Homo-oligomer: A and B are copies of this chain.
């Protein structure tokens, strides 16, 4: 239940980031809503297509589509004031990342995937919406270059599986991971934590 509410907040937050990205490319309203839907719902779609888990979430619950479309259209009106809300927005996005991850892990566990696939499913759900957004906006995906993001998703997934392994019940584990993953992400933003970068320049290659 809690996870579901946070999921709705999360897809809204992701829809906003998608709209703003589309706005930077001066897309029309169709482009804006499409990028918003891809950003908000793309992570779950990639996960479900890879796991063969049909019907997709938003096909079964089309109301998710309505939320994201509304969020996208509202964003185009309020964009000029959004930088005042930047902190709230980063907080929602961080909550979303963690919530998406936990939902992805839960679904992969339900269909009995091996442990590493559960972690991958969590990360796919958490980050691939943003990757698709950046590909469609013709940019190198941000998530591959900037501060701790996918790593937060991975840590959240590992913590969740560890807690379940030690017989903690599912709701408690979810709540603990939600809070600690969220905190980790906020700290990563505040202190600009990064994982090491690999730079390779051999032009001869």
Task: State the A residues within 8 Å of B (CB).
Answer: 19-20, 22-32, 34-35, 45, 49-52, 54-56, 59, 62, 65-66, 76, 79, 82-83, 86, 113-117, 120, 131, 135-141, 143-146, 149-151, 154, 194-202, 204-205
Q: In the docked arrangement, what's the CA distance between A191 and B38, Å?
A: 30
Which of A62, A82, A115 counts the most chain B CB atoms within 10 A? Answer: A62
Known: A29-B198, A30-B143, A52-B55. 4 other contacts (CB 8 A): A19-B198, A25-B144, A59-B113, A76-B198
Q: Which of B56, B76, B140 contacts A137 (CB 8 A)?
A: B140
The answer on a CB contact under 8 Å between A145 and B26 is yes
In the bound complex, residues from chain B placing their C-beta under 8 Å from that of A34 are 144, 150
A136-B138 CB under 8 A given contacts A52-B55, A198-B19, A198-B76: no
Complex partner residue of A62 from B30, B65, B66, B114, CB under 8 angstroms: B114
Q: Are B202 and A62 in contact (CB under 8 A)?
A: no
Q: Is the CB of A31 within 8 A of B143?
A: yes
Cα–Cα distance between A194 and B29 once the two chains are bound (Å): 10
Query: What are 11 pairs between A and B in contact, CB < 8 Å?
Result: A19-B198, A24-B200, A25-B140, A30-B149, A31-B141, A32-B198, A34-B150, A62-B114, A62-B117, A65-B120, A86-B205
Residues of B within 8 A of A76 (CB): 198
Top 4 A-B pairs, shortest CB-CB distance:
A23-B200, A31-B144, A52-B54, A27-B144
